[in-house]
Amino acid sequence: MAQITFKKEVELRSAQAEVKDFSGKVLESVELNPELFGRPLNIHLMHQVVVAQLAAARSGTQSTKTRAEVSGGGAKPFRQKGTGRARQGSTRAPHYSGGGVALGPKPRSYQQKTPRKMIQQALFCALSDRAEANRIVVIEDPKWEKPSTKSAMELLKNCGFDGHVLLVVEPEDENLILSFRNVPEVSLAFPWHLNAYSVLVNDYIVFTRSAMIGEEIDDTPSQLTVSAAPMSSDEEAE
């Protein structure tokens, strides 16, 4: 009789995030969805997915010419016998100056096939790591009448963000996007573009309230979740 195995249940942890306004004042502390922000870390999984994502981003266009592709070398350099030298058939052999390259690189694809569930779980682990370190922050949607990089810099200073920031916004936040796009320490992303690498490469993950609020869990309005779909392998390669 075949042995029946059961899937091991993952022990989820509670996670919280602070909600701040433009001045950096903490308005409240909200409970994050443990399915996304309370998972145990899997370092090997995150490493494998990040390596696959960076490999898929490689262009793979490097190329060298073999001795069959370089021009010239049609005539035999010198006669076969009687010169005391080693016989040669072409001046385009790899050991000649101007000759072809032996075993050189050719165009290839570095993309690795990674299961969608692995990509998803790696993202959840990365978000959980930032949540455990209290690096997940929610900001009230700034009602800016026009784009202002100066206001964007003030927001970063008031909130105490002293490293690289991944700001997750909605497409409707046009003034916010235009304000932060010239700030070198800030990367912008939509919720459905989140991936393990973009989370791990930044020190703080900052959500606007509109980008953070998704479906209500257990009829608790203050419980937040990301209404995002992880990137597929094809999206990672772009």
In order, the DSSP letters of 78-123 are S-SSSSSS---S-TTSTTSTT-PPTT------------HHHHHHHH
pLDDT for the residue numbered 94 = 95
pLDDT for the residue numbered 224 = 46
Reading across the β-sheet that carries 186-189, which strands appear in turn? 26-32, 15-20, 136-139, 204-208, 165-168, 186-189
The letter for the amino acid at 220 is: T
pLDDT for the residue numbered 15 = 86
pLDDT for the residue numbered 50 = 96
What's the full length of the chain, in residues? 238
pLDDT for the residue numbered 24 = 87
What's CA 119's distance to the chain center, in Å?
Answer: 11
State residue 16 phi and psi, 5-degree precision: -130, 160
Q: Whole-prediction pTM value?
A: 0.77
In the chain, which residues have pLDDT < 70? 1-9, 213-238
pLDDT for the residue numbered 86 = 95
Q: Which domains does the chain have, with CATH numbers?
A: 15-43+114-237 (3.40.1370.10)
- Residues 20, 161, 193, 181, CA torsion sign: positive
How far apart CA 176 and CA 155 sit, in angstroms, is: 11
- Is residue 161 within 8 Å of 204, Cβ to Cβ? yes
How far apart CA 130 and CA 90 sit, in angstroms, is: 61
For residue 155, give both structure tokens: 């927001």
